[in-house]
Amino acid sequence: MDASYVDLADPSHLEFDYLRWIRIVLRAAHARRVVHVGGGACALARALAAEDPRGLQQVCEVDAIVLALAREHLGLRRVPGLRVRQVDGRFFIAGQSRNAWDAVVIDAFVGAAVPRALITVEALAGVARVAPLALINVLDDRAAREVRTVGAALALAYPRVWALGARAGNTILVGAVAALDLDRIAAAAAADPSPTRVTGPEATAVLIGGTPALRDAEIGLAGAGGPEVGGA
């Protein structure tokens, strides 16, 4: 929650650049039914719901305290097009039918790393089963070790993998079944208040080439996610 910001007067306003970059991709893909793994203040989901109340933004946040803070201090409430559940994101996705969603956004962290259980080969295969588009927010330095690790598993789940963002800081890794208009996305990203660039599939493949993908067995994970602990 330290990195949460919501404009209560204008929920469509996104203060953080990486959230605007994700929105650019979702708009280009015409993604209206989106699962958000990692809720925080639900800023992106709320912005998308305000923009398209007939769509569906499903937020999965495992931490009850985070949701309570968002409701008490950051104006989180029921609005058309937005659903919020206290549930493990991987567990939720495992229970969805094939191609039930347009996209899955993973914006969850333990410290500065995406939880390992969300970025294994098996976890991302589950994401690809339910959605033709996945976006993962990764924090990294110029060595790009985290980007390589996440990208390696994503490349086994999706035929097209590319990135949006600088080498250091936030990088949005994108896995897609269909080709998106990267020129259009690149132009929108360049015009953002915090301009950034697209790294296309070929350059991304070179970056992640030779990096071993993380598997469930390596992190001692026997099942997909944990039990649901509540709903809202």
Secondary structure (DSSP) of 98-160: TT--SEEEE---BTTB--GGGSSHHHHHHHHHH-SEEEEEEEE-TT-HHHHHHHHHHHHH-SE
Residues 27-37 have a mean pLDDT of 98
Give me the domain span that covers residue 61.
17-219
Q: How far apart are CA 147 and CA 127, in angstroms?
A: 18
- Identify the helix (H) or strand (E) that includes residue 59: strand 56-61
69 domain-assigned: yes
- Residue 167 one-letter amino acid: R
Q: How far apart are CA 60 and CA 127, in angstroms?
A: 14
**Residue 230: is its pLDDT beyond 60?**
no
Residue-wise pLDDT for 59-89, tens only, equals: 998 887 877 776 664 556 778 889 888 889 9
**Residue 2: is its pLDDT beyond 50?**
no
170 domain-assigned: yes
6 domain-assigned: no
153 domain-assigned: yes
135 domain-assigned: yes
In this prediction, what percent of the chain has a pLDDT beyond 70? 88
Strands, sheet with 133-140, edge to edge from the N-terminal-most edge strand: 82-86, 56-61, 33-37, 103-106, 133-140, 169-176, 160-165, 198-199
pLDDT at position 112: 85
Q: How far apart are CA 137 and CA 36, in angstroms?
A: 11
The pTM (predicted TM-score) of the whole model is 0.89
pLDDT at position 28: 98
Residue 183's SS3 state is helix
Identify which of 161, 226, 172 has the alpha carbon closest to the alpha carbon of residue 200. Answer: 161
4 domain-assigned: no
pLDDT at position 160: 98
Identify which of 32, 31, 23, 178 has the alpha carbon closest to the alpha carbon of residue 107. Answer: 23
| Residue the block writes with tokens 């969805």 | 96
Query: pLDDT averaged over the chain?
Result: 89
Burial (CB count <10 Å: 0-12, 13-18, 19+), residue 2:
exposed
Q: How far apart are CA 56 and CA 155, in angstroms?
A: 27
CATH number of residue 154's parent domain: 3.40.50.150
225 domain-assigned: no
Residue-wise pLDDT for 155-167, tens only, equals: 999 999 999 997 7
232 domain-assigned: no
Task: Confirm if 86 and 229 have CB atoms less than 8 A apart.
Answer: yes
Domains identified in the chain, total number:
1
Task: Confirm if 99 and 131 have CB atoms less than 8 A apart.
Answer: yes
**Residue 39: is its pLDDT beyond 90?**
no
Give the pLDDT band of residue 22 (cuts 50, 70, 90).
Answer: very high
Residue-wise pLDDT for 144-198, tens only, equals: 899 999 999 999 999 999 999 977 789 999 999 999 999 999 999 999 999 999 9
